Structures are given as structure tokens and as C-alpha cells.
């Protein structure tokens, strides 16, 4: 349930075709969502359903919601861009209007990160080597087009691959959406659970990690 600051404002439902066109896009905390159904409850409150979660690479925020988070509708052509320097990441940002409405958020710099890679997979070869593969995503396009890779969106394509085990960790930089880890290197990490993380290295910051755990 969301409560609007102005009880005279209104949220409307939309069909699947409108959702596919980007309608009813909103920010909830750190997550971008879309909703297909908005049920009015009175006093500016609405129950949202038929949700599309983690839009625009914000799936990392799906499990971190709390009560009284900020909710804000977004629509192309109605947003005013505010350019902040990269060194401001982690700092609070306050905004206010002439009528006295105000809000403060922490600038996380998510807009300067590439989205986390997806479809991270691992295959163990007969010789013990481990082949990792993943799919790139891009800030320049989230639409899924069969047979066509997402645009790069960064000056260079590079990924940071980290493998962590009970006896240590190794880190690699690769320029492809796959990597082969030698059996000897894996053995040096020790027996037990192995955590694999892949981040795309962007022009300014690295993405959040795609993560996989193996026994």
C-alpha cells in the first residue's frame, strides 16, 4: 500500500500493453517498479498489484524495503535531471519545493554503474577446470531483442571475476562474457562452498555483483 502526499492526486490502472510501453513506472525506495492495478483505499492511499519488479537493473533492492519508504511516480518528459559529481556518492541529497515539501535521500550513484550481469552459470569440465559464463546488460538498453546483444554502454568491456573459498580468494579481470578457471586454482581455494561474483567494470564505477554459490 502507498499513500500519496496530496490526497487529490490519483493513480490509475493500465493493461499489459501499456506496461510493456513503460507506463506506471515508479520508484519505491531504491527499486524501480511498474504496477498494472491501482486500487483506491481512500485518503490518498492505493493498493498496488500486478507488479513488475526490479526494473532498470534495480533487482538488488527488491529484498531491502522498509516501512515509510518514499514512493514517486516517474514519467518521460516530466523529470528534471540534476547532475551530481561522482565523488558525491554516499552523501545525502536534499530537495524542496516552494510549497515547503522536502525530501532527503542518500545518493548511491546507481545511475553511473552498469547493471549487474545476469545468467551467471558454471560448468565443471572433465579435467577439473571451471568454465563461467554470463550475459551483459547495459544502461543504454534493457529491451530484450532475440539474437542481439545489449549495447555495451561503457568505453571498454571488462569484468571483475572473484572466487572466494574457505582458504582464500582469487580475482581476475576479463574482457569477454566468459572465463575458464584452472582446476589447480580452484583447488587452492579449499574444500567446501565456493562463492563466485562477476561485476562489470564501468567507466566510473563497477556494477553490483551477479553471484553464484557452488559446493
- pLDDT digit of tens for each residue in the chain (215 aa)? 999 988 888 999 999 999 988 899 999 988 999 999 999 999 999 999 999 999 988 998 898 889 988 898 988 777 777 788 777 888 888 877 777 777 787 887 777 889 999 999 999 999 999 999 999 988 877 666 666 677 788 889 999 999 999 999 999 999 999 999 999 999 999 988 999 999 999 988 899 999 999 98
Say what the pLDDT of residue 100 is.
Answer: 75
118-214 under CATH 3.90.1200.10, yes or no: no
Q: 125 exposed, middle or buried (CB, 10 Å; 0-12, 13-18, 19+)? A: exposed
Q: Give the DSSP H or E segment for 18.
A: helix 16-20
pLDDT for 98 equals 77
Calculate the alpha carbon distances from 215 to 86, 120, 183, 186, 212 in Å: 38, 16, 15, 12, 10
Q: Of the candidates 179, 188, 190, which has an alpha carbon nearest to the alpha carbon of residue 125?
A: 179
CA–CA separation, 48 and 38 (whole Å): 5
**Neighbouring C-alpha atoms within 13 Å toward the C-beta of 172:** 18
Rg of the chain over Cα atoms, rounded to whole angstroms, equals 21
Calpha distance 211→196 (Å, rounded): 6
Q: What is the pLDDT of residue 189?
A: 93
Residue 118 CB partners (closer than 8 Å, separation 6+): 134, 135, 137, 210
pLDDT at 197: 97
Domain ranges of the chain: 2-111, 118-214
Distance CA 101, CA 94 (A): 11
Burial of 118 (0-12, 13-18, 19+ CB in 10 A): middle
Amino acid at each position: 500500500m502507498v499513500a500519496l502526499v496530496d490526497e487529490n492526486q490519483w493513480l490509475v490502472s493500465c493493461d499489459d500493453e501499456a506496461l510493456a510501453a513503460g507506463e506506471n513506472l515508479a520508484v519505491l525506495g531504491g527499486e524501480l517498479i511498474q504496477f498494472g492495478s491501482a486500487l483506491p483505499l481512500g485518503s490518498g492511499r492505493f493498493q498496488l498489484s500486478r507488479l513488475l519488479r526490479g526494473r532498470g537493473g534495480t533487482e538488488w533492492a527488491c529484498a531491502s524495503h522498509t516501512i515509510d519508504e518514499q514512493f514517486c511516480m516517474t514519467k518521460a518528459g516530466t523529470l528534471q535531471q540534476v547532475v551530481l559529481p561522482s565523488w558525491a556518492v554516499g552523501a545525502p541529497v536534499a530537495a524542496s519545493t516552494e510549497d515547503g515539501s522536502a525530501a532527503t535521500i542518500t545518493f548511491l550513484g546507481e545511475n553511473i554503474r552498469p547493471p549487474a550481469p545476469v545468467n551467471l552459470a558454471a560448468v565443471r569440465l572433465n579435467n577439473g577446470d571451471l568454465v563461467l559464463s554470463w550475459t551483459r546488460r547495459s544502461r543504454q538498453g534493457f529491451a530484450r531483442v532475440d539474437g542481439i546483444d545489449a549495447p555495451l554502454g561503457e568505453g571498454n568491456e571488462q569484468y571483475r571475476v572473484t572466487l572466494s573459498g574457505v582458504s582464500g580468494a582469487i580475482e581476475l579481470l576479463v574482457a569477454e562474457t566468459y572465463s575458464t578457471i584452472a582446476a589447480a586454482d580452484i583447488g587452492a581455494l579449499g574444500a567446501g562452498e565456493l562463492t563466485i561474483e562477476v561485476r562489470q567494470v564501468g567507466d566510473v564505477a563497477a556494477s553490483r555483483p551477479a553471484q553464484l554459490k557452488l559446493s
